[in-house]
Chain A
Amino acid sequence: MRQVPFDGWVKRNEAELTYPRAAAGLSVAAGGTWGWSAYSQIVGSTTEDFIPTWLNLSVKAAIPVAGAGALQNPVIEYEVATGPAGTEVPFARHTEGVWAILQNPGTATNGLLAWSRSVPVGPTLIPQGKRIAHRARQSVAGSTAQTTIITYIMGYDKNTPVMYSPYSYRGHLAGIHKPMSQTEPSGAVVAVGTAWTQVIGTTARDLLIWGASRDISSVTAASAIVSLGVGAAGSEVQQATIAFPGVLLGNSNGIMSLRNPILIKKGERFAAKIATGATSNFMFLYESVPA
């Protein structure tokens, strides 16, 4: 039997907070040719001591007629900051890149693509009452390619999430748990509404839930904040939050993950519901751990 240290990893019983909260994700269009956009406010005053840990970002890339036919490869820088308007101080920076060609464009060709992902942000305490804002810039002129970042900041109040000791990260990476990566459902999606919706009725094994991809066909802005929970119908307990930001003609369906997976114990019922925003279809990603 291998000995591994307890290093905390899988979490239970503390759901992530978001900014914006109970509202649609907020967007900022990148300034062209490395010129920063203005800062745009995400929240005027945080309501608790907040520790951001994760950015759930969507990226919308528009290739208008002027950029059609040639390779467009804007690189994006994105910053999140605290402080009053005029004296913001960044606490996180992220980067994205685009590679796009519209072949055989017509005179009215316009290309749009959008994707999303979760990226880490260095955890740092943002005291209650602080303003948070964001800005972006890109390497190319907006006339040939225009990118927009849409955001949810994920994190916790000053309490860090509760970890579940039997699952050690080092041990997990060493292969001792022998998990299998799976999706639920497979070959289909599950429609999640504003009431708790069953995803798995009775889990046959411990599951480590990592996140979900979304299936939404709306062209209007469709953000969604999704609660993940366990428990029998009528007594579900929220365990985690994932959030999908959306913007007009730029909703994105890519995987949104959790910084720490939540543990669904063998025999528990796993459910999800839309806490805020658009009813959507999802495919959930998890690791199944043999008993």
Chain B
Amino acid sequence: MWYAVYDKSTNGLVSVGEVVANPLASHLATKELGEAFNQAGKVWDVVTLSFKIANDPFVESFVDKILNLPELASLSLNIKTTLKGKLIKILFEG
């Protein structure tokens, strides 16, 4: 199991890994991330206490070029938005 270790006072991420200190310092807490976790391209959200895809203008620009190809012009905005998120995830995680 992978864990995020975060500071309870700020919700800021302290560490990510499969092995967590025991005992953990009193100001720290953990959140389970699943059996398989890939941190590439993700940032920690202190509000939701979860990882989200990083706002990376370079990657987004790259994906936008693909989604704006004339061959994909018939796709709706909703589908393109969904595809964009999935493509970014695939690109980061390989």
On whether the two chains bind one another, the answer is yes
A77 to B15, CA, bound (A): 17
A133 to B16, CA, bound (A): 9
Beta-carbon contact of B19 and A85 below 8 Å = yes
Whether A24 is near chain B, meaning CB under 8 Å from some CB there, is yes
Chain B residue at smallest Cβ distance from A65? B57
Beta-carbon contact of A38 and B40 below 8 Å = no
Beta-carbon contact of A112 and B15 below 8 Å = no
Whether A108 is near chain B, meaning CB under 8 Å from some CB there, is yes
Interface of B is mostly: mixed
Beta-carbon contact of A64 and B57 below 8 Å = yes
Give A217-248 as 1s and 0s: 1 = Cβ < 8 Å from B's Cβ atoms.
Answer: 00111000000000000000000000000011
Closest Cβ–Cβ distance, residue B80 to chain A (whole Å): 18
A221 to B40, CA, bound (A): 10
Q: How large is the interface on A (under 10, 10 to 19, 20 to 34, 35 or more residues)?
A: 20 to 34
Give the contact stretch, choosing among A40-48, A151-159, A172-180, A200-208.
A40-48
Known contacts A62-B58, A108-B61, A110-B58; is A86 also within 8 Å of B28 by CB? yes
Chain B residue at smallest Cβ distance from A132? B17
Query: Number of contacts between A and B (CB, 8 Å)?
Result: 88
Across-interface contacts of A29 in B (CB, < 8 A): 43, 54
Within 8 A of B (CB), among A115-162: 131, 133
Across-interface contacts of B25 in A (CB, < 8 A): 86-87
Instruction: Point out the residue from A27, A44, A133, A221 that lies within 8 Å of B15, measured CB to CB.
Output: A133
Closest Cβ–Cβ distance, residue A123 to chain B (whole Å): 23
Beta-carbon contact of A87 and B57 below 8 Å = no
Beta-carbon contact of B17 and A41 below 8 Å = yes
Across-interface contacts of A24 in B (CB, < 8 A): 94
Give B23-42 as 1s and 0s: 1 = Cβ < 8 Å from A's Cβ atoms.
Answer: 01100101000000001110
Beta-carbon contact of B14 and A39 below 8 Å = yes
Across-interface contacts of A247 in B (CB, < 8 A): 40
A84 to B5, CA, bound (A): 10
Closest 5 CB pairs of A and B: A41-B17, A44-B18, A85-B15, A86-B21, A38-B13
Whether A190 is near chain B, meaning CB under 8 Å from some CB there, is no
Known contacts A39-B14, A85-B17, A85-B20; is A110 also within 8 Å of B61 by CB? yes
Across-interface contacts of B58 in A (CB, < 8 A): 62, 64, 110, 112, 249
Beta-carbon contact of A86 and B59 below 8 Å = no
Beta-carbon contact of B94 and A39 below 8 Å = no
Closest Cβ–Cβ distance, residue B8 to chain A (whole Å): 12
Give A44-74 as 1s and 0s: 1 = Cβ < 8 Å from B's Cβ atoms.
Answer: 1100000000000000001011000000000
Q: Could you list some 9 contacts between A and B, CB below 8 A?
A: A40-B15, A64-B57, A84-B17, A85-B16, A85-B21, A87-B25, A110-B57, A133-B15, A249-B59
Across-interface contacts of A62 in B (CB, < 8 A): 56, 58
Beta-carbon contact of B57 and A86 below 8 Å = no
Across-interface contacts of B61 in A (CB, < 8 A): 108, 110
Known contacts A40-B39, A249-B59; is A133 also within 8 Å of B21 by CB? no
Across-interface contacts of A79 in B (CB, < 8 A): none
A88 to B25, CA, bound (A): 12
Beta-carbon contact of A27 and B16 below 8 Å = no
Across-interface contacts of B57 in A (CB, < 8 A): 64-65, 110
Whether A254 is near chain B, meaning CB under 8 Å from some CB there, is no
Whether A20 is near chain B, meaning CB under 8 Å from some CB there, is no
Across-interface contacts of A27 in B (CB, < 8 A): 40
Instruction: Point out the residue from A64, A88, A249 that lies within 8 Å of B62, measured CB to CB.
Output: A249
